[in-house]
Amino acid sequence: AQTVTQSQPEMSVQEAETVTLSCTYDTSESDYYLFWYKQPPSRQMILVIRQEAYKQQNATENRFSVNFQKAAKSFSLKISDSQLGDAAMYFCAYIPPGTYKYIFGTGTRLKVLA
Amino acid sequence: ETGVTQTPRHLVMGMTNKKSLKCEQHLGHNAMYWYKQSAKKPLELMFVYNFKEQTENNSVPSRFSPECPNSSHLFLHLHTLQPEDSALYLCASSRVAGGNTGELFFGEGSRLTVL
């Protein structure tokens, strides 16, 4: 079965520091897509970053970057220079191509300490 | 108005009530989704509509009844719910091109409490 595991229910980071959120997944597919979504308190979930499995280069979006290890089926999110506005639930998600079945992890609650 | 809009934001209902959740997207997308979000659990996909046709029903109990009159609107009709159905119900949309590999755009959710 295809699954996504986020082993850290909660993380804390000091403002301006760097934090890494972990995600592992299980699939027999060779081509797929991975995402990190952010859900601030009482606000819409939004896309943070996206990675295609066929691309070896790690995706980056400003202060957000991923460490994609295909063989290890690992997809961690690194947030640099953490800001108070980064406090949110972060969800890792996977989707095989040609389907609508996004598979989400249970989420990691990130607290940013001033 | 842009994005994905859900109404109502909060809903409290008894187990014998009938109510509906509404979702509207202004993004020109062709696929719309209902997800159930419960604490400490992964988001559960409930239904998917692609070009108004239901393409996914993830073994959802019949007390949840979806309706998609057009590509911009999605409803979730609720009747004889159970307390364990209390959750945040999220609507999402996406653009479809030869299979879905793109970003999901979410609404803010409808917080449902069943008494």
Contacts of B31 in chain A (CB under 8 A): 100
Regarding predicted confidence, which is higher, B97 or A73?
A73
What's residue B50's pLDDT? 86
If DSSP codes are grouped into helix, strand and coil, which group holds residue B85? Answer: helix
CB atoms within 10 A of CB A30: 10
Closest-CA residue of chain A to B93:
A100
Q: Do A100 and B101 touch (CB under 8 A)?
A: no
Q: What are the average pLDDT values for consecutive 10-residue runs of chain A, which has 114 residues?
A: 91 98 94 94 92 92 96 97 97 87 93 96
Contacts of B40 in chain A (CB under 8 A): 9, 106
Q: Do A103 and B42 touch (CB under 8 A)?
A: yes
Asked if residues A82 and A13 have their Cβ atoms less than 8 Å apart, the reply is yes
Q: pLDDT (tens digit, 9 = 90+) per residue, B17-50?
A: 899 999 999 999 999 999 999 988 889 999 999 8
Question: The sheet that has B18-25: what strands, in order across it?
Answer: B4-7, B18-25, B73-79, B64-70
Q: Do A105 and B42 touch (CB under 8 A)?
A: yes
**CA dihedral of residues B2, B3, B4, B10 (deg, nearest 10):** -70
Residue B99 has pLDDT above 80, yes or no: no
Give one DSSP letter per residue of A30-99, joined into a string: SS-EEEEEEE-TTS--EEEEEEETT--SPPEETTEEEEEETTTTEEEEEE-S--GGG-EEEEEEEE-TT-
Any CB–CB contact under 8 A between A88 and chain B?
no
